Structure 1
């Protein structure tokens, strides 16, 4: 009888330990308070340092986070422009030829909105040998369209932060003149008209509140804003250990599928990233940088991080919707939304 009880206790202990380990219970228990103890490296106030760099001065603190990657291609799309209303950054993967074709035939058209100057580029890394058939097709695509910036980093899910921040670097160095920058994945539906209407209204609202600011000095970082906590489950691909991130909550962050930033915010986020430790989830990382540099996020429910069920009327006010990896579906929906009634 005693042996049976010991066996049961042993089984219960094993189950408890398994649950404790598998669900990361200890990580949840020992997480630091985000509200009371958030101090992501660099563990200093970086706002004065960012101001130094943006004013053309040498920073008083050395950067800690500069990605050692090269742009394998370039573009002169901004070199002859004095004004640019919107620059569209499309994050793409090497093999997504159909998605890039669909973007070019829909919201990526640069003459889309009369009276507005819009430019678009795709940003992608490498994941195949230089002489592979995929790379040869990309080389042909670049020669034909001249709208791809390829970067020499391994293009996978956990390197999305590298792709994002390298695109910020390219904009900061080669195209710092746009009023707004849209960052989007290549499987999103985008309404550029709705987007421009939205940022115009949002800018006017911010200027009304802050009457001393000029239009170019407005900080805007907008999209679908999340407020959530790290996952500690051992089986999750989004698991984050306490060593990597010891706090119990993320700072507010904008889902990475699509978001819009103003000129000043683009520059502050890039410069700030030089002084903020790398983190592998790009949307969370930008949320951390935004908090460190003092940019407040603006939630816009017209950015859908999921695939909004389509109807002609229901999409009239949509700015962005996820889930359009099918080339023909994106073209069909976009054409119907942009047809003259």
Structure 2
């Protein structure tokens, strides 16, 4: 029998209002709205460990040892060697770091055969950055593993084989997950700044997701018009607030981020940095606590050292159908799984 709310309210008004207030209270406490209205003003922004980062980077040059000591981020032990110093570009050097899940073998294969081959012909370098499928910092295929870990071990074998063959994988000592993308960014910055063995510093670095299609000639043309010694932090710029509602996958509680908005930041899908900014970011990392989202962390780094993000609409953020003629003015675009990337590259971007 369906019980009418009106009947309950009429016959048991106290019970009705008590239940209604209880429901509203639970919704208020669990929805995240309380955090939304209680957040501190961004005007009061400070970030742990609460030091003068600009002063710190003047006194402390970039250091791989300092980065690994403070963040724990480093190359996975026994990982395949990588060689990222074979520049052939005339003019400014360019390295493209592609953030990729360890299991995205097909995406990396497709990139190497499409715009990655354009980058290689142009003298630029493409480096893929991944984590590990298992929670371990020391990889040894000789140790006994539980049967339920065999799938992960097979993935490791395949990843190591790819790294040995291609020499273009940076494999971090952390579990490959969305929340560890910040660690991928940190590892990429260390390589871009020349802090890793076999990796010289680069004049410009593009940090890219593996579902982006890249117009290499237009990117090369852009960096040739820039000065590597000028601060540059460029791409699709956002000025946004943290999600507080608990049902959002990006929800952030006050104890993690207490302010009502973020510093301006560039979408992590495509970020272009100059050598000037690369080295400042790398030097600042030990003095700026990691944040769970890599694009926000880059924004915090930039804010801490007074580098302003520059919006460039040629780095498309919103996935959409882009016509062939539009690619004359687009450097990178989002939303291309392997098959679509291959198809669109062949019809819209393939170089003769």
TM over 0.5: yes
Could you tell me which runs of 5 or more consecutive residues in structure 2 were left unpaired when the two chains were aligned. Answer: 1-8, 142-152
Structure 1 counterpart of 2:74: 69
Could you tell me which runs of 5 or more consecutive residues in structure 1 were left unpaired when the two chains were aligned. Answer: 204-214
Matches of 2:68 and 2:184 in 1, distance apart? 19
Matches of 1:331 and 1:198 in 2, distance apart? 24
| 8 A contact 1:185–1:257 mirrored in 2 | yes
Is 1:127 matched with 2:136?
no
| 8 A contact 2:238–2:265 mirrored in 1 | yes
Which of 193, 207, 219 is the equivalent residue of 1:195? 219
What is the correspondence of 1:262-301 to structure 2 with a 5 Å cutoff?
Answer: 262-301=274-313
Structure 2 counterpart of 1:183: 207
How much has 1:188 moved relative to structure 2? 0.8
Gap change, CA 1:313 and 1:55, over 3 Å in 2: closer
TM (normalized to structure 2)? Answer: 0.83
Matches of 1:187 and 1:332 in 2, distance apart? 13
Gap change, CA 1:96 and 1:282, over 3 Å in 2: same
Structure 1 counterpart of 2:124: 118
| 8 A contact 2:87–2:93 mirrored in 1 | no
TM (normalized to structure 1)? Answer: 0.86
Query: Once the two structures are superposed, what CA deviation does each residue of 1:54-79 show, in whole Å capped at 9, x if it has no partner?
Result: 399xx9xx998332533423323217
Matches of 1:291 and 1:168 in 2, distance apart? 17
The size of the alignment, in residue pairs, is 321
Matches of 1:245 and 1:219 in 2, distance apart? 27
Matches of 1:323 and 1:106 in 2, distance apart? 16
More displaced stretch, 127-136 vs 327-336 = 127-136
Which of 329, 337, 340 is the equivalent residue of 1:329? 340
Matches of 1:2 and 1:93 in 2, distance apart? 58
Q: Secondary structure, in 3 states, of the residue corresponding to 2:60?
A: helix
| 8 A contact 2:191–2:201 mirrored in 1 | no
Structure 2 counterpart of 1:312: 324
Cα RMSD over matched residues? 2.6
Matches of 1:297 and 1:200 in 2, distance apart? 20
Query: Once the two structures are superposed, what CA deviation does each residue of 1:155-214 show, in whole Å capped at 9, x if it has no partner?
Result: 11111111111221233213353221010111111112122233444x3xxxxxxxxxxx
Q: Secondary structure, in 3 states, of the residue corresponding to 2:55?
A: helix
Q: Which has the higher helix share?
A: 2
Structure 2 counterpart of 1:208: none
| 8 A contact 2:84–2:200 mirrored in 1 | no
